[in-house]
């Protein structure tokens, strides 16, 4: 990160983008944050995150929809970014069942604009958010980036897999240096209100029952936000040079110089949803009524990251254990909502 160029963080008012921008600002980087501030969830929280960033003199905010190709081209031409951290996306598995076009708009058309703009302005390294949702109906545990992923069970997961393939094609055809990160159930302070940890905490404090899908037997590889941010920072200067291709990837590409990388970024230890509820009840010193429900369409029964590649290449292992992470989240929640 020694070059004297601004870093673009898309989705900077979102959960992961906000924390990435905050960390980079603390390290002395100049950050251009981009977000459309859409109303998928409470924009008050997004504005509050943004206000934190705007207190810093090295932060510039641009409100922009990434699917607007002309405006995106103008932004890239004006700022000449060296690094692009693309965290903006339409998120949420269940929302994709009722609003599929939002995912094509942001995750396909928007990502296409990111690729085109990075290509034409010779961005040194594009790092983009993929998701554990790409594994879908895979039964091999833990999930490895070497595994074929032909069965996403949600449109959200399908669009994230499409992003990986699009980035691969741009790396192969145009030499665009890119790294995709499959994030696993990120949680922590300033988290998303549509995620289970947030929903459960809010309901328990309000004395309301909680909906527990798959009867609480779902397992998730919960990964604390600080570990995610540290993982992203480890790879910023690790510009990819070659890709080893296996599984469903093009077998004749193994010996070609393709500047493309794909990694899992998770804690590497799945936790059952029932256990998370127990932790929250302990932290909040309250019991809750549980409405036990079947698995919803689009939901995965379990996620579990094989972190071997990332750990070996970057000497990195997530540190925040789930008990500590849940406690930190609850402390933030009480403080933010003045409870």
Q: In the chain, what is the straight-line distance between the N-terminal and C-terminal CA atoms, in Å? A: 40
Give the pLDDT confidence score for residue 250 in this predicted structure. Answer: 46
Angle (deg, nearest 10), helices 43-54 and 15-26: 10
Instruction: Tell me the whole-structure pTM to 2 decimals.
Output: 0.94
Strands 7-10 and 210-213: unpaired
Q: Which residues contact 152 (CB under 8 A, 6 or more apart)?
A: 133, 134, 135, 136, 137, 158, 160, 161
Band of the pLDDT at 4, cuts 50, 70, 90? Answer: confident
- pLDDT for the residue 241: 78
**Average pLDDT for 43-57:** 97
Query: 103-125: per-residue pLDDT in tens?
Result: 999 999 999 999 999 999 999 99
Residue 255: pLDDT band (50, 70, 90) is very low
Q: How far apart are CA 172 and CA 100, in angstroms?
A: 29
Q: What domains appear along the chain, each with residue ranges and CATH number?
A: 7-336 (3.40.50.720)
Residues recognised as catalytic: 156
pLDDT tens digit sequence for 296-309: 887 888 899 999 99
**How far, in Å, CA of 82 to CA of 124, rounded?**
5
């Amino acid at each position: 990160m020694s070059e004297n160029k601004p870093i673009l963080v898309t989705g900077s008012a979102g959960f992961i983008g906000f924390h990435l921008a905050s960390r980079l600002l603390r390290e002395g980087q100049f950050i251009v944050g981009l977000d459309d501030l859409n109303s998928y969830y409470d924009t008050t929280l997004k504005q509050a995150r943004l206000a934190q960033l705007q207190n810093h003199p090295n932060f510039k905010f641009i409100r922009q929809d990434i699917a607007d190709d002309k405006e995106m081209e103008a932004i890239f031409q004006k700022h000449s970014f060296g690094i692009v951290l693309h965290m903006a996306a339409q998120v949420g598995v269940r929302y994709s069942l009722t609003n599929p076009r939002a995912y094509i708009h942001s995750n396909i058309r928007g990502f296409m604009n990111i690729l085109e703009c990075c290509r034409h302005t010779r961005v040194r390294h594009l790092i983009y958010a993929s998701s554990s949702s790409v594994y879908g109906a895979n039964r091999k545990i833990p999930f490895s980036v070497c595994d074929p992923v032909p069965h996403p069970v949600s449109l959200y997961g399908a669009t994230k897999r499409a992003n990986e393939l699009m980035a691969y094609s741009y790396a192969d055809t145009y030499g665009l240096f890119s790294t995709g990160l499959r994030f696993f159930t990120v949680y922590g302070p300033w988290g998303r209100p549509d995620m289970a940890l947030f929903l459960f905490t809010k309901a328990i404090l309000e004395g309301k029952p909680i909906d527990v899908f798959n009867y609480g037997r779902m397992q998730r590889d919960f990964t604390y936000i600080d570990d995610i941010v540290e993982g992203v920072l480890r790879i910023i200067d690790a510009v990819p040079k070659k890709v080893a291709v296996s599984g469903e990837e093009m077998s004749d590409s193994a010996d070609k110089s393709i500047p493309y990388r794909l990694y899992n970024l998770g804690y590497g230890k799945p936790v059952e949803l029932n256990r998370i509820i127990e932790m929250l009840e302990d932290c909040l010193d309250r019991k809750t009524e549980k409405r036990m429900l079947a698995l919803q369409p689009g939901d995965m029964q379990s996620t579990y990251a094989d972190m071997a590649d990332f750990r070996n290449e970057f000497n990195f292992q997530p540190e925040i254990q789930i008990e500590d992470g849940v406690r930190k989240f609850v402390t933030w929640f009480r403080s933010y909502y003045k409870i």
